[in-house]
Amino acid sequence: MSWSLSEIEGLARKAARGSGFSWGMAEEAGKAVRWLAGIGLPGPEVLANYLEAYDRTPHAQMRPTDTSQDTWRASGGVICPISAGAALCDLAQNDAPSRDIDIIACAYPLLLLPFVRAAAEDGEQAERLIWQGGEFAFAADVRGAAHTPELALSDARVEHGENAALPLPDCQLRYDLAEGPAERLAAFAARTYAPDTEQSRTSGAGAGLSDND
């Protein structure tokens, strides 16, 4: 089924919120998925995979533990790409010293990609994201390719620089989302319509007693 990008964003936002992300982080997830879909990458499908894989996992376990370091890890072993991406944007917006960052054991690194683009814009410098499933570079334009876009886990490296040899992706205004992934996202979105319980407030991918995002 063909979806508009705004429909994709709305579904992704509600699904992320339904999984336990704060509304602010859910907004970021929706924008990220919309951007990916706009260049033909399977952002909605990857988000559905991520939410299912880490459903009920406390978010505190998946945040980067110390973003002042050049190597980021999470206390639970696997880093949330949305949390890591938001942290990258915070660094760029706060004019933190420029540095390359290795993100160890990033879940579904494709979801990190839109945040690196935003960080490049905020920091006004060329940035690259390299992971086992692909490479993108953000400078005067967007270049890159993902040969394994739905890769579930990989180390990722964010570094300065550009790569003019990478191809230019094709932009599009609509996205063909299959019924299966759409239904999986809708199931998470449906949780936003149910009354909160103590369990739903304190658990879930993106949730937790210390969730201050």
The model's pLDDT over 189-207, given as tens digits with 9 standing for 90+, comes to 999 985 655 555 555 554 4
User: Can you tell me whether residue 71 is helix, strand or coil?
Assistant: strand
> In 10 A of CB 48, how many CB atoms?
25
Write out residues in the chain with pLDDT < 70, as ranges. Answer: 95-98, 194-213
Check residue 75 and report its DSSP letter.
Answer: T
Please tell me the predicted confidence (pLDDT) of residue 213.
Answer: 44
Check residue 96 and report its DSSP letter.
Answer: P
pLDDT digits (tens, 9 = 90+) for 128-162: 999 999 999 999 899 999 999 999 999 999 999 99
Can you give the length of the chain in residues? 213
CB 151 within 8 A of CB 108: yes
Please tell me the predicted confidence (pLDDT) of residue 142.
Answer: 95
Please tell me the predicted confidence (pLDDT) of residue 17.
Answer: 96
Q: What is the pTM of this model?
A: 0.89
Of 138, 193, 180, nearest to 42 by C-alpha is 180
Please tell me the predicted confidence (pLDDT) of residue 208.
Answer: 38
Please tell me the predicted confidence (pLDDT) of residue 211.
Answer: 46
CB 46 within 8 A of CB 149: yes
